A = this chain, B = another copy of it.
Amino acid sequence: MGLVDQLVNQPHYTLVNQPRENDILSHKELFDSIPEEYLSHKEKYENAIRKTVLYYRLMQKYQNYKEGSTILDETRANYRNLVSFAVFKDYPPLMLHNGMFIPAIAGQGTPEQQKHWLKRAKNMEILGTYAQTELGHGTFIRGLETTAEYDPSTEEFVLHSPTLTSYKWWPGGLGHTVNYCVVMAQLYIRGRHHGMQPFLVQLRDEATHMPLPGVKLGEIGAKLGLSTVNNGFLAFEHHRIPRDRMLMKNAQVLKDGTFVAGPSSKLAYGTMIYVRVIIVNGMANLMAKAATIAVRYSAVRRQSQIKPSEPECQILDYVTQQHKLLICIATSLAFSTCARWLWDVYTGVMGQMESGNMDHLPELHALACSLKVVSTMDVSGLVERCRLACGGHGFMHSSNLPYTYGLATAACTYEGENTVLLLQTARSLVKAWQKGSKGKPLSPTEAYLMDKSPVPKWENTLDGIIAGFRRVSAGKVQDCVSKIDKLVKMGTSYEDAWNQTSVRLVAASEAHSRAVILATFRSEVSRAAAALSPPLSRVLHQLVHLYCVYWALERLGDLLLYTSIAERDVQELQQQYEDLLQKIRPNAVGLVDAFDLRDEILNSTLGAYDGRVYERLMEEALKSPLNAEPVNQSFHQYLKPFMHGKL
């Protein structure tokens, strides 16, 4: 078995080779004759709906979706995600139906509610989304303004949007697509506030699709990306719904208006963390897509000569190009590896939680935050690096790199804005520090914070680099704690001290995340490599090595401050890095081929397997409706009279 075949047989890769996928991709009506980027905003939506219904039918058919496949199934989600890229350049308008509507009912509905609504939702007799964020409120849940007031006289909730800033804003599919929605609102009973609760609300008439009276709906408008997601807004004008539409698995409101609090509000963290695990894996996919496109293009494109006597060389032979791109291959593997690992941690902790053990939830939460932030941040940056590495052609939509960037960068903001999440992780690190200082035991991924041994001699090895990153992280957390303490002693409130330290807290949090990612990537690959052929194992270790050295060089300032690394170590690291580029270069195309992303999924003139870059660029250009006529009508109307001085 060759290197590529073995790599393809890794769990990450086999998914895309399922014959069912090939079946779906054989439905030519799922593909566009005129690429989406030429359509108007409205046409894009209508075309997406046309494809959506067909796509979901086929997915149901091939996945036997109705017969009990669970939503919380990582491999299936990954598979769906990749096939979806072949059909939609952006995400489809019904993305949140499976992604959040169904999980919300499953996670927060009573057995009776699940029986009725989950069946309808899974059969897609009703279509739904999930509405939490408001026009004026995102991160700060307590600030949300939508109210649900219980009226015991009619046994109804009255949903209301008191201000413009209270309009629900952003939910995918909300604009014109769904007819139901799980709405988060502040519950009031007889004037008393009972926190945010979930309500299953019908928004549109099932037969006519008209918004129900008291429901104001629309789409929020054009965006940098996600143009077919049909993100919408929603406002209620004293809109009444029956009592049984509050999802009451946790908290309950009885007929007479008695409020019964749920057993633990921590259970709701599950879905949130699950979504972040999925995001990390999604980022690995986007990185694989972009790396495949840019590496293949760089093997086809020839530009300038390294030596005057030689023909123009493949641009992948320029070491600067290798520097831009090989880290992208390593990054995709690093995040798919970390996502798989995080998935195992997640299922483990969820299992414990079902038996009432919440001990590991905070650590899991911090890990999911860290990985979500670093994966979205790094992949967004590196997708752009891939695009720019393709020169002008990367700027063409037909390269599919701009769309890929739109998908990656959006994830920096949704499901927890990155800076906010880093500060949450920082809070957990500071807590761990304080706990550790009192001699209490720390969780496995944070234990290193309390390492009080003297700074060891620097070693230019993987272990040395990972230990160095832990030193950096621990040092930064300690600095933050000291600064906060100092400010508090000077009379500053803890909150102001926290804010004044927040630039450093964010940096500490990122350093911790990097330490976790480097260590996880390294150990998981070592574990898996035992079962692989020596050549494959070698190239995977080269990628891990490249990844660690790359980040050591990127964070030299930190290493110089917090570890014993010396100038000659740095020189050696730089040389190691350049040697690794040279070693990996011959396998670069093989490695992206091994991601095994079919041409339909790549959807790119620059990245197709056959390397017909220029022919495809020309073919795609000719699909522009502007090219259907040699002279555009605007010449006669405007340009001609203008040039003749008559306008």
Residues of B within 8 A of A394 (CB): 413
Asked if residues B561 and A567 are in contact (CB atoms below 8 Å), the reply is: yes
Q: A133-B392, A233-B621, A396-B221 are in contact. Are A49 and B634 (CB under 8 A)?
A: yes
Residues of chain B within 8 A of A642, CB atoms compared:
53, 56-57, 124
Give A625 to B41 CA distance when docked, in angstroms: 8
A402 touches B223 (CB 8 A): yes
Near B by CB (< 8 A), chain A positions 200-221 give 206-211, 217-221
Copies of this chain held together in the complex: 2
- A13, chain B: closest CB distance, angstroms: 29
Contact A220 B396 (CB under 8 A): yes
Smallest Cβ-Cβ distance to A143: which chain B residue: B312
Give the shortest distance, in Å, between A92 (CB) and chain B (any CB). Answer: 12
A472 to chain B, nearest CB (A): 12
A298 to chain B minimum Cβ distance, whole angstroms, is 12
In the complex, the chain B residue whose C-beta lies closest to that of A235 is B618
Chain B nearest CB from A471 CB (Å) reads 14
Q: How far is the CA of A423 from the CA of B318 in the complex (A)?
A: 12
Proximity bits, A554-568, B CB within 8 Å = 1, else 0:
011111110000010
A57, B164: Cβ atoms under 8 Å? Answer: no
Give Cα distance in the complex from A207 to B635, angstroms.
10
Q: Which of A251-259, A270-278, A501-509 contacts B (4 or more CB under 8 A)?
A: A501-509
> Per a CB cutoff under 8 Å, which of B137, B412, B618 touches A164?
B618
CB closest residue in chain B, given A301:
B136
CB distance from A628 to the nearest CB of B (A): 9
Interface string of A54-87 (1 = CB under 8 A from B): 1011000000000000000000000000000000
Q: Is A397 an interface residue (CB 8 A)?
A: yes
Which of A40, A230, A418 gathers most chain B CB within 10 Å?
A40
Known contacts being A35-B222, A135-B617, A224-B402, is A574 close to B504, with CB within 8 Å? Answer: yes
- Tell me which of B169, B308, B384, B626 contacts A176 (CB under 8 A): B626
| A531 lies within 8 A of chain B by Cβ | no
A211 to B209, CA, bound (A): 49
Whether A496 lies near B306 (C-beta < 8 A) is yes
Chain B residues contacting A618 (CB-CB under 8 Å) are 135, 164, 167, 233
A39 interface contact, C-beta 8 A: yes
- Give the interface residue-count category, chain A: 35 or more
B397 touches A223 (CB 8 A): yes
B578 in contact with A397 (CB, 8 Å) = no
The answer to whether B397 and A221 have CB atoms under 8 Å apart is yes
| Residue interface mask A37-54, B partner, CB < 8 A = 1 | 111111101100110111
**Given A41-B624, A46-B632, A413-B388, are A53 and B223 neighbors across the interface (CB < 8 Å)?**
no
Q: What is the CA–CA distance of A165 and B40 in the complex, to the nearest angstrom?
A: 31
How far, in Å, is A622 (CB) from chain B's closest CB?
Answer: 7
Q: Say if the beta carbon of A584 comes within 8 Å of chain B.
A: no
User: CB distance B499 to A45 under 8 Å?
Assistant: no
Contacts A126-B643, A306-B496 given; indicate if A221 touches B624 (C-beta within 8 A): yes
> Nearest-CB distance from A221 to chain B (Å)?
4
Query: Given A53-B647, A176-B626, A626-B45 in contact, is the A140-B396 Cβ separation under 8 Å?
Result: no
Bound together, the chains give a CA A15 to CA B209 distance in angstroms of: 53
CA distance A165 to B124 in the complex (A): 49
- Contact between chains at B221 and A140 (CB < 8 Å): no
Complex contact A138–B621 (CB within 8 A): no
Within 8 A of B (CB), among A622-647: 622-627, 630-645, 647
Contact of A413 with B396 in the complex, beta carbons under 8 Å: no
Which of A42, A317, A631 has the most chain B CB within a 10 Å cutoff?
A42
A220 to B636 Cα, complex, angstroms? 22
A125 within 8 Å of B (CB atoms): yes
Interface-central residue, A46, A222, A615, A617, by most chain B CB under 10 Å: A222
- Bound-complex Cα distance A391 to B143 (A): 16
CA distance A135 to B123 in the complex (A): 49
Do A175 and B221 touch (CB < 8 A)?
no
B37–A209 touching, CB < 8 Å: no
**At the interface, yes or no: A493 with Cβ under 8 Å from chain B?**
yes
Would you mind naming 13 contact pairs between A and B with Cβ atoms under 8 Å apart? A38-B42, A46-B633, A50-B638, A124-B643, A139-B303, A140-B303, A176-B632, A221-B621, A233-B618, A319-B502, A320-B506, A395-B410, A503-B577
Those 5 A-B pairs whose CB atoms lie nearest each other, nearest first: A556-B557, A37-B222, A557-B557, A224-B402, A40-B40
